[in-house]
Structure 1
Amino acid sequence: IVFSSFYQAKEKFKKELKIEGFLYSDLSVLASDMPYFPPEEEEENFEDGIHLVVCVHGLDGNSADLRLVKTFIELGLPGGKLDFLMSERNQTDTFADFDTMTDRLLEEIIQHIQLYNLSISRISFIGHSLGNVIIRSVLTRPRFRYYLNKLHTFLSLSGPHLGTLYNNSTLVSTGLWLMQKLKKSGSLLQLTFRDNADLRKCFLYQLSQKTGLHYFKNVVLVASPQDRYVPFHSARIEMCKAAVKDRHTGPVYTEMINNLLQPVVGAKDCTLIRHNVFHALPNTANTLIGRAAHIAVLDSELFLEKYFLVAGLNYFK
């Protein structure tokens, strides 16, 4: 009876979906066939080098924000020779400008590698929100050039890669504007393209002209249409209807997207993956303003466990 009602509910859900896709329960093969809690290995062998995973939080966040992401990767890939750096150097001031935060993150990564005398075989980055822009900025620095050929996966969770233009939430746009004024925030000024009168001289446009993403084996963009803090199209790095109609800013927007995607699409060893996420959210104020979906990629155990089992673990193997 339980199985029967489950299948009936599943078929009903499929019919109600307005997008094409498939459910994980329909798959015959699991994303990971490793047990969650394997027998402990007597001695770990790190001769081949380790896989460093750098986790970078977002605006007004801290180093604990991505702890569940780290937990589910570690559970799913036991013995994976993974070392996590939970970035904390920017947690006291995420309202600084991006160049300042880039300097801090870059220094933190290099110090971590030197302090623990790590032999690095691969480097992956996981960013949330604004943290993804800091990660992309680090890739462009001369001091990071040595590590470019070790880049493996860039997992972007709700990253404002195209800034916060064309946000369909007036409430959030007003809130960000007020926050920028109160905090005198360089990063929020840059995300809204108000750091220069010439849009092509704005930080985000100039960052789009610098290469970086195509060095990764996997560029994974996770976005949710329920997220009002970071526009869906910005997290997915794609055009939106408002930009197509905008004759002033639209062409600049198009150039940014081409700047970012052409090197990735043209690289033989780089795969671009986009995941759209729909969360089951309660009817609260946080849901209404889109904050709930923005942070659900960090604190929803249900989402994170399913995401990594279905797809996410593959990018860190």
Structure 2
Amino acid sequence: MYRFIKAKEEMKQLKLPGFLYSEVPELASTVPYFSMEEDESCEEGIHLIVCVHGLDGNSADLRLVKTYLELGLPGARIDFLMSERNQNDTFADFESMTDRLLDEIVQYIQIYNLTVSKISFVGHSLGNLIVRSVLTRPRFKCYLNKLHTFLSLSGPHLGTLYNSSALVNTGLWFMQKWKKSGSLLQLTCRDHSDPRQTFLYKLSKKSGLQFFKNVVLVGSLQDRYVPYHSARIEMCKTALKDKQTGPVYAEMIENLLLPVLQNKDCSLVRYDVIHALPNTANSLIGRAAHIAVLDSEIFLEKFFLVAGLKFFQ
């Protein structure tokens, strides 16, 4: 206990914005784990939560997210679609992966004959871009009025154009060449000579995020795979200095955020995460923080219990 208090006081000396979990006076949910009381507010239908993995991932990547949502919302009428249609080919272009995810969602609802009252998405990394792309498709239009929460875990919403890690940039370049990956080419905004004709820029101009009740962006400065500013959808110093591509970057941010901010029924929330990571090679290259939002039980339990559950109620 003494070491904990001492570490907490040292943490306060950093004067970081935000708050400490241990000092939060109220929890996000007053319902205890494993309660059998049903949530009467959900009687009109199922709350479908679609979990979408990232690059080279699989349907089990977000299993802990599913676990803590189920534990934190006992009795709620929720159903999970752990997306698996893209897990064998995440190096394909985004158009192909969008088609697969859209088919998977529509077929899941039809096969199980679900009466859906709400649809929420939880995406990790590249999966967040696939989700945003699905929202723009005509076949999904009938579900737009049911959108509830979009939880983006380390999502490269602005791509990896201004990634500060030379090691990661080199790795992405190598992987793109080796796998002939359309998605990695689109992530780096090198899929067209005109930046305003790239996939990410065109996607930023299409409506989508403003239809959610909650847009929750989670990012970490320790994550070297996805730039901090890209996960938070905000400007960075490098882009401000770049007279050529910087203005295009600023336009992408405005395209994404303006519709969200103009919709009074949509709330935008950003969370910065600082993980306690061991001194390993994975931590050094930034991979550990990138996957900690998936496999850190401490982070996920505290995040949902203190802050995250309210967005899924």
TM-score bracket for this pair, using the shorter chain length: over 0.9
Instruction: Kindly indicate whether the alpha-carbon contact (under 8 Å) linking 1:152 and 1:217 is maintained by their aligned counterparts in 2.
Output: yes
Where does residue 38 of structure 1 map in the other structure? 35
Distance 1:216 1:23, change over 3 A: same
Q: Distance in 1 between matches of 2:118 and 2:37?
A: 24
1:168-218 CA distances to partner (integer Å, 9 max, x unpaired)? 100000000000000000000000111111110000000000000000000
Instruction: Kindly indicate whether the alpha-carbon contact (under 8 Å) linking 2:42 and 2:76 is maintained by their aligned counterparts in 1.
Output: no
Q: Distance in 1 between matches of 2:4 and 2:124?
A: 34
Q: How many residues align?
A: 313
Where does residue 29 of structure 1 map in the other structure? 26
Matched, 1:93 2:97: no
Instruction: Kindly indicate whether the alpha-carbon contact (under 8 Å) linking 1:151 and 1:217 is maintained by their aligned counterparts in 2.
Output: yes
Compute the displacement of 1:30 (Å).
Answer: 1.5
Where does residue 123 of structure 1 map in the other structure? 119
Distance 1:9 1:176, change over 3 A: closer
Amino acid at match of 2:24: L
Compute the displacement of 1:96 (Å).
Answer: 0.4
Matches within 5 A, 1:1-317: 2=1, 6-15=4-13, 17-39=14-36, 47-317=43-313
Unaligned runs of 5+ in 1: none
1:259-283 CA distances to partner (integer Å, 9 max, x unpaired)? 0000000001000000000000011
Q: Distance in 2 between matches of 1:21 and 1:44?
A: 34
1:255-309 CA distances to partner (integer Å, 9 max, x unpaired)? 0000000000000100000000000001111000000000000000010001101
**Cα RMSD over matched residues?**
1.6
Instruction: Kindly indicate whether the alpha-carbon contact (under 8 Å) linking 1:157 and 1:223 is maintained by their aligned counterparts in 2.
Output: yes
Amino acid at match of 1:11: E
1:56-80 CA distances to partner (integer Å, 9 max, x unpaired)? 0000000000000000000000111
Unaligned runs of 5+ in 2: none
1:152 is paired with a residue whose SS is strand
Q: Distance in 1 between matches of 2:208 and 2:269?
A: 16
Q: What is the percentage of aligned positions where both structures have the same residue?
A: 73
Amino acid at match of 1:136: R
Instruction: Kindly indicate whether the alpha-carbon contact (under 8 Å) linking 2:98 and 2:130 is maintained by their aligned counterparts in 1.
Output: yes
2:34 is paired with a residue whose SS is coil
The structure 1 segments of at least 4 consecutive aligned residues displaced by more than 6 Å after TM superposition are 43-46
Amino acid at match of 1:19: L
TM-score calculated relative to the size of structure 1: 0.96
Q: Distance in 1 between matches of 2:98 and 2:234?
A: 25
Q: Distance in 1 between matches of 2:28 and 2:212?
A: 21
Amino acid at match of 1:29: E
Q: Distance in 2 between matches of 1:215 and 1:162?
A: 19
1:228 is paired with a residue whose SS is coil
1:33 is paired with a residue whose SS is coil
1:105-158 CA distances to partner (integer Å, 9 max, x unpaired)? 000000000000000000000000000000000000000000000000000000
Q: Distance in 2 between matches of 1:8 and 1:294?
A: 28
Distance 1:188 1:45, change over 3 A: same
